[in-house]
Amino acid sequence: MSTIMESVDVEVPVTTAYNQWTQFESFPEFMEGVEEIRQTDATHTHWVTKFGGVDREFDATITEQHPDERIAWRSDSGPDHAGVITFHRLGDARTRVTAQMDIDPEGFVENVADRTGILDRRVKSDMVRFKKFIENQGRETGAWRGDVDRPGS
């Protein structure tokens, strides 16, 4: 299992950055290889991805979510992965968004991408594209402000 950690500072308020990240259906606009995401209820998503010519579909569960602070998830099917996105207010109109993911690549293509650093670079590029996306928009395309407590809390 590999751990990937990337941060990007965005020139929007923390609430704007967080609200946009709750709009999972918009991820294909800034995440390479993400073809589609459907949110099936408050804590479940279905992903369709393409990486190195390999199509994958999987489900994920949001395991923790607190407005303007964090969104955590784990996969329920497909490649084993989990992670958390955190939001740190740096100023009235500046936010640090940090992605930390644990990924256990599945299949030849994903394992090669992991060993050669391609997965790290892809996450970094996705974060840079998120920065451009939200700064160009200037505002979020929607929001979900509910809380999801960690299991066992």
Q: Domains plus CATH for the chain?
A: 2-137 (3.30.530.20)
**Separation between Cα atoms, residue 98 and residue 84, nearest integer Å:** 8
For the entire predicted model, the pTM comes to 0.90
Query: Phi-psi region for residue 20, left (φ > 0), alpha (ψ -120 to 50) or beta?
Result: alpha
Residue with tokens 């099917």: 77
Instruction: Using DSSP bridges, classify how beta strands 34-41 and 54-66 pair: parallel, antiparallel or unpaired.
Output: unpaired
Sheet holding 80-91, edge to edge: 2-10, 94-104, 80-91, 70-75, 54-66, 44-51, 34-41
Q: Could you tell me the mean pLDDT of each successive run of 10 residues in the chain, 153 residues long?
A: 91 97 96 94 93 86 97 90 96 98 73 64 93 95 87 70
Note the helical H segments in the chain.
14-21, 107-115, 118-137
Burial 44-70 (b: 16+ CB within 10 A, else e): ebbbebebeeeebebebbbbbbbbbeb
